[in-house]
Structure 1
């Protein structure tokens, strides 16, 4: 008896399915109505997955030399710049290979935060004049950096301090901000650590061409940006909070030196007390200075290398000539 009941139960399911299928054949209109009532699931995504990075915000480092501190410097910037910024590195084949040896660097390349490549043909950073030509090249801003609108330019002798209370995004209201040359300046600042609005620079370069071997790119650009209708550039006093190079600032967001850390202006670094204060506030500067802490603070420890003691001679040069 029990076997018969089990057999009947097992037979009912296939019989029911067969009858259900015949209903679709005998009553096509009814079957269409039934099918139309069955919920449908669409597995196609209507939009592409959004990137966590903002392509209009680009932090840019250009360096042809495979410097020992190149990788840690780049990774440090990636840790202190707001996380939605993307990074671009342009360098020589040697510098690109040097960076690609780092597993961490490759991970950032793979997740889309970092692009590494050589400079496009015809552009160079070998020397001050080549640097100025690249940074006043319309194609560079309009095509190579596209779609960047906010550009952070930093060099290997510049540093943003992790102890700073400031946020880089706080400076995006300006069309240009860099290290102040003079507190009385209405606009203009050193380009070695600077924030630039790309669309405004494109407007300048669409109408004017820099003559080679004239003003450095940061002087040339800021003099013209400042005259654009509606331009908003940080003045000399405001820029002291952003970066210190020639003028002392208590706790700037960052520092820019010159010539790979060999040129240290006396207004910022000219006494052991000033250097000790900066060392304690921004210990990351040791990455860009070719000396250790004792020799940096105490001149007696390194009497033959006292580059910090004297300012770079700017008597025959315009402010900002040292990038």
Structure 2
């Protein structure tokens, strides 16, 4: 018999068994995990991402207030919810009457998607005090220039105000967070001076409250003639400028929002638009190519 050959076979067999045994000792060797086992995540890498928490206000919040229901309202708010994402909880303020008739998430007549978003806490619906009448422009200015709204949005530092005639564009190259450095940003009302529109605006909530708590009052100044240059948005932006707030130049503001013909001529792809149907109707065909969602925004029922 050839014991030399048999000996070599036995050595090879023992070597193979040893190799298999080593593989079992290290289940993750060469990335081969046995069936049913979970591979270990590399050090410093989470095995699963943190779950987003919708509806919890921390440092940022997006706000719309409207008491005059139209069929565009729910699709518009859901669009903002989708584009802004979970870091921007949305609060919708309305009247009890509008809520009961059109927006009650428990109603069988309500939008199913809307009901789910509200019940999940992704969108909050709150009612405003009866002292506020939002059916006139003066009423809206009073509402936005009194402390009640701003106090109710604590602890947020950054507040996005959007109205039903404003839109943010899903094709935008910049996100809302890219504008957080500014104490106020909106479509510019002047080519060089710090005057900004408020219908789509990002505002420093605590600075607004500081201004109001110092005794400044848009209503009183308007009635007395001390302020004659328009609504609360221009008034607040001028007050902020006077106290040295961090305010953007016009070209930066145009990247945030456009409202007039001269805005659209200078900035073709902004983050959003406000009141474009009224102030730049000839530009709509051009805008819709970049931001088709503009059709969700339209002039509302607000009386002058």
TM-score computed with the length of structure 1 as normaliser: 0.67
1:241 corresponds to which of 248, 255, 258: 255
Alpha-carbon distance in 2 for matches of 1:69, 1:233? 32
Q: Which residue of 2 aligns with 1:224?
A: 239
1:150 and 2:168 are equivalent in the alignment: no
Gaps of at least 5 residues in structure 1 are 1-48, 291-321
Shift of residue 282 of structure 1?
0.7
1:253 and 2:253 are equivalent in the alignment: no
Alpha-carbon distance in 2 for matches of 1:54, 1:118? 17
Shift of residue 156 of structure 1?
0.4
1:197 and 2:212 are equivalent in the alignment: no
Alpha-carbon distance in 2 for matches of 1:90, 1:245? 24
Shift of residue 54 of structure 1?
4.3
Equivalent residue runs for 1:111-126 within 5 Å: 111-126=120-135
Shift of residue 197 of structure 1?
0.6
Tell me if the contact between 2:57 and 2:155 (Cα under 8 Å) persists in the aligned partners.
Answer: no
Q: Which residue of 1 aligns with 2:17?
A: none
Tell me if the contact between 2:164 and 2:298 (Cα under 8 Å) persists in the aligned partners.
Answer: no
Q: Which residue of 2 aligns with 1:64?
A: 67
Gaps of at least 5 residues in structure 2 are 1-50, 105-109
- The verdict on how the C-alpha distance between 1:93 and 1:182 changes in structure 2, with shifts beyond 3 A counting, is same
Q: Which residue of 2 aligns with 1:173?
A: 181
Tell me if the contact between 1:188 and 1:223 (Cα under 8 Å) persists in the aligned partners.
Answer: yes
Alpha-carbon distance in 1 for matches of 2:296, 2:52? 35
Q: Which residue of 1 aligns with 2:47?
A: none
Alpha-carbon distance in 1 for matches of 2:95, 2:57? 26
Q: Which residue of 2 aligns with 1:96?
A: 99
By relative contact order (CA 8 Å, sep 6+), the higher-ranking structure is 2
Equivalent residue runs for 1:261-276 within 5 Å: 261=277, 263-265=278-280, 269-270=281-282, 274-276=283-285
Alpha-carbon distance in 1 for matches of 2:163, 2:206? 22
Alpha-carbon distance in 1 for matches of 2:172, 2:181? 19
Alpha-carbon distance in 1 for matches of 2:60, 2:114? 19
Alpha-carbon distance in 2 for matches of 1:234, 1:179? 10
Deviates more, 1:88-97 or 1:278-287: 88-97
2:287 corresponds to which of 278, 285, 292: 278
Secondary structure (helix, strand or coil) at the match of 1:130 reads: helix
Aligned CA RMSD, in angstroms, stands at: 2.2
Shift of residue 180 of structure 1?
1.4
Tell me if the contact between 2:61 and 2:159 (Cα under 8 Å) persists in the aligned partners.
Answer: yes
Alpha-carbon distance in 2 for matches of 1:162, 1:94? 32
Secondary structure (helix, strand or coil) at the match of 2:141 reads: helix
Equivalent residue runs for 1:305-316 within 5 Å: none
Aligned length: 232
Shift of residue 148 of structure 1?
2.1
Tell me if the contact between 1:82 and 1:168 (Cα under 8 Å) persists in the aligned partners.
Answer: no
Shift of residue 141 of structure 1?
1.0
1:160 and 2:174 are equivalent in the alignment: no
Alpha-carbon distance in 1 for matches of 2:173, 2:127? 34
Deviates more, 1:114-123 or 1:147-156: 114-123
Higher alpha-carbon Rg: 1
Alpha-carbon distance in 2 for matches of 1:74, 1:90? 12
Alpha-carbon distance in 1 for matches of 2:52, 2:286? 43
